[in-house]
Amino acid sequence: MKIMHLPWPLDLSRFYFQRIIQGRKIPLLASFKVTYRCNLACLACPFHRRADRENSPMSWNTAIAAMEALSSLGTRIIVFEGGEPLLWQDGSYRLHDLVRYARKRFLRVAVTTNGTLPLDVPADILWVSLDGMKETQDKLRSNSFARVCSNLETTKHPRVFIHCTLNRLNWRDVGSLAEWVRNTPTVQGMTVQFFYPYNQGEDDLALSGEDRRAAIDKLIDFKKRDFPILNSSGRLKAMIDNHWRCHDDILINVDPDGTITKGCYVKSRGEINCHSCGFTPVAEASGALDFIPGSLYAGWQLFLKA
């Protein structure tokens, strides 16, 4: 099934009809990890510690088989991740080739990268992970601030966003980062999520309940002042205590060994603790399925806006 042949309004109408009227548990979004290998050792990340596992990186044939399986299930959006996905290679194949293949089969194709390599991959959307200004970013993400800034300055990609994972070391600095994003012409905006404790060797960076509330209040205030934070205010508020309706069946996950898991992002990757959830993309996607206006608008800004 090559769903990209339909214009997006018709395709998403079809998706809602299949989900809501027909009751089919069709996934909307795929997290597709092509490798655990990374050129950084970020304090908050457990995945680079898995780089020596068997079948990491994924082979070209495994990746193609997984994409065909996702397409047959009706998946609309695929996000290539890592590790660092731009390091992926199998013979002469690079991530760029996987992206081109995916764009023939999915409504939208995105890549999440640490930004230390050239930002030239032909995805529809490109997220660059940046967790603060120089001092904070360098502490959390292996002295990478200068490289990321250089690549952001020179990229020609039309749809680049910053993605920031808030934790106890950086949440107070989110305003400075939002101001920097607003003043960077090659960046279209930023999204945030909250550190999730996998307890697999990463640093303990979880926000206290009080600090999470304060961080969310700060983000909502910045949005009111027209800072380019694209998370919806409603879903941010819902994540203060994580009291929101989660449709985890709109998610599907692929790991470097080719394993496909339906449901929560953490399901095949660690112990699920819903109380500690920081995955704002899931909150927004769930909100969009429930026709919450703010979530629908956030999805349009990120994935559909020309």
Give residue-wise pLDDT tens across range 126-138.
999 999 999 999 9
pLDDT of residue 107 exceeding 70, the answer is yes
Instruction: For residue 89, give every residue at least 6 positions away whose Cβ sits within 8 Å of its Cβ, in sequence order, or none.
Output: 57, 95
Give residue-wise pLDDT tens across range 74-105.
999 999 999 999 999 999 999 999 999 999 99
Give residue-wise pLDDT tens across range 146-190.
999 999 999 999 999 999 999 999 999 999 999 999 999 999 999
Q: Can you give the C-alpha Rg of the chain in angstroms? A: 18
> Can you give the pLDDT at residue 55?
80
What token pair was written down for 161?
């966003």
CATH topology of domain 3-304: TIM Barrel (3.20.20)
| DSSP per-residue codes, 194-215 | E-----SSS---PPPHHHHHHH
> Can you give the pLDDT at residue 306?
75
> Can you give the pLDDT at residue 4?
46
Region 65-69: what's the mean pLDDT? Answer: 98
C-alpha–C-alpha distance, residues 296 and 266, integer Å: 24
Please report, for the chain, the start and end positions of each structural domain, with discontinuous segments joined by +: 3-304
Confidence category of residue 2, pLDDT binned at 50, 70, 90:
very low
Beta strands in 82-230 (DSSP E): 89-90, 93-94, 108-113, 125-129, 160-166, 190-194
Q: Position of tokens 């380019």?
A: 228
CB atoms within 10 A of CB 93: 16
Phi-psi map region of 242: left, alpha, beta (phi>0 left; psi -120 to 50 alpha): left
pTM above 0.75, yes or no: yes
